[in-house]
Amino acid sequence: MRKLPILGFVAVLLFTQCQNNDQPQPQAPVNYGCAENPVACELVAANNKFGFNLFQRLHQEEPNDNIFISPLSINTALSMAANGAAGDTREGMKNTMEYLDLSMDEINNAYQYVLTALPLLDPHVQMYPANSIWYEKTYPVKVPFLNTNQEFYDSDVNPLDFKDPNSVNILNGWVNDKTKGKIPTIIDEISPDAIMYLINAIYFKGEWRKQFDEDKTIAGDFYKADGTTVPVHLMNYGGEAEMRYFENDKIQAVDLPYADSVFSMSLLLPKENYSLDQLINDLQGGAWNDWQHNFSNQEVVMYMPRFKMEYEKVLNDHLIAMGMDLAFRPGFADFSNIADDNLFISLVKHKSFVEVNEVGTEAAAVTIVGIETTSVPQYVYVSFNRPFIFLIRENKSNGVLFLGKMMEPSEE
C-alpha cells in the first residue's frame, strides 16, 4: 500500500474523538501513520473518498451555495450505527462509506487508533471531540452494541426519557457544550417512534503557524460564479511569503499550516479554463491523492478572504442514493445487533460552523443519526394461480354487472 503522508490525515482533522479533556492525556503513538497501522490508512482513504463523493452530490444539488461538511464526523456516527446493523443492511452502509473489504472489527480498531491519536499530535491545536449514544431508557438495547461503541469510539452512553419534553434540551445542551456554543442545537423534537440517537460532535481551534498581519488586510471584491461581486476583507502577509504551493494546468493551491504544522488548510483555486464543477469531479475521481504530494516551498503573494460559514443538511436522500437505502427502509432494515425489534435509520443530520481570520481557524461539526422502531405489516399472501370466481360490480347499489369463473386463463 502506498504510504499516505500526515496531510492525508488532515482531511479528517476536524472530526475526531478522544478522551475527556479533564483527564490525563496519553501520548500519541510513536511513528503515527500508514507504516504504523496500514488498516487505519485504508480507513482514512475511505473517509476521504466518501467525503468527495458526498460533496459532489451536495454541489450538484446546491451549485451556487456554500457547503461545509465533515466526512469523518458523518462516517464516525454512521460507523457507530453500523455496529448495530447486520446482513445486507451493514454491507450497504459499509459500501457507501467506501469501506469495501474491511471487517467491522478492522473498522472499529482503526477508528480507535486514529481517533485516539489525532487529537494528541499537536498540543497547540485545540481539539475537543466527543461521541455519545442516547437511548429511550425503557428500551431493551443490546449491551454488546453499547459496549463496542464505548470501547472503540469512547462514546458516552446515556439512557433518557424520550417522552419528557426536556429531553430535546438535554440533547441540544450536550451538543452546545461540546461545540463551545458554535452549534447550539441539532434537533427540534424527538419522534414518538425514536429509540436512539447517536451523535458525533467536535470543536476545533488552531492558529496559523504564520499569522496574517491584520494591518495588511485590505478591502476588496469577491467575484461570484455569476459574475457579480461582493465586498470582502482580503488577508495578506504584506508581500511575498514562503508557503507550501502547488500548481498545474488546472489549479493553483496553497497549504497553510496550523501551529506545529501537523494540521493545515489546503485551498484549491481553479484556473480560468477549468471550472469548479470540473475540479469537484476530479477530486471525486481521486485527483487529490496525487496533488497532495506535490506541494513545495515557494515565495508566494497570496490574498484570501476572511469568512464565516454555517451549514446544515439532512443527508437521508443523499445516503440512500449512494447505496445506503436498506438502512432507511422500515420493515426491511436489519439493526438486530441493537435490539430484536424492527429498527431503521430515520435521520442523518449534519451541522457545521467555520470561521477563518488573520489569527487562524475555529470550526465545529455535529452529526446525529436517529434510530426508530416500526411495526412490520402483517402481510396477507394470495396468488390466483388456481380456478377462481370474479365479478364486476357497481358500488352505489352493489349491483353485480358481470360474474365469471376462471378455470383456464388465456391471453389469446
> Residue 60's domain is classified under what CATH number?
3.30.497.10
For position 91, what pLDDT does the model report?
A: 97
Q: How far apart are CA 353 and CA 363, in angstroms?
A: 5
pLDDT band at 387 (very low <50, low <70, confident <90, very high): confident
Q: Are residue 194 and residue 316 in the same domain, yes or no?
A: yes
Question: Looking at the structure, do residues 292 and 179 belong to the same domain, yes or no?
Answer: no
Residue 1 placed within a domain: no
Q: How far apart are CA 96 and CA 322, in angstroms?
A: 6
The pTM (predicted TM-score) of the whole model is 0.84
* 362 contacts 205 by C-beta, under 8 angstroms: yes
CA distance 244 to 256: 7
Q: Are residues 201 and 227 in the same domain?
A: no
Res. 294: pLDDT tops 90: yes
Q: Which residues lie closer than 8 Å to 105 by C-beta, 6 or more apart?
A: none
Higher-pLDDT residue of 375 and 3 is 375
| Average confidence (pLDDT) over 69-87 | 94
Residues 201, 71: one domain?
yes
What radius of gyration, in Å, describes the C-alpha atoms of the chain? Answer: 26
Number of folded domains that form the chain: 2
**pLDDT tens digits, residue range 346-374?**
999 999 999 999 999 999 999 999 999 98
pLDDT at 380: 57
CATH number (domain holding residue 240):
2.30.39.10
- Give SS3 for 373: strand
Report d(CA 320, CA 326) in Å as an integer.
Answer: 8
- Residue range of the domain that includes 129: 6-207+308-373
Residues 188 and 287 in one domain: no
Report the alpha-carbon distance of residue 229 to residue 352 in Å, rounded.
25
pLDDT at 18: 34
Contacts from 266-275 at CB under 8 Å and sequence distance 24+? 266/7, 266/10, 266/292, 267/304, 274/249, 274/250
In tens, the pLDDT along 171-186 reads 999 999 999 999 999 9
User: What number is the average pLDDT over the span 60-68?
Assistant: 91
Q: Is residue 364 included in any domain, yes or no?
A: yes
Residue 50: what pLDDT?
92
Q: Report the range of poorest mean pLDDT among 18-32, 94-108, 365-379.
A: 18-32
Q: Are residues 256 and 285 in the same domain?
A: yes
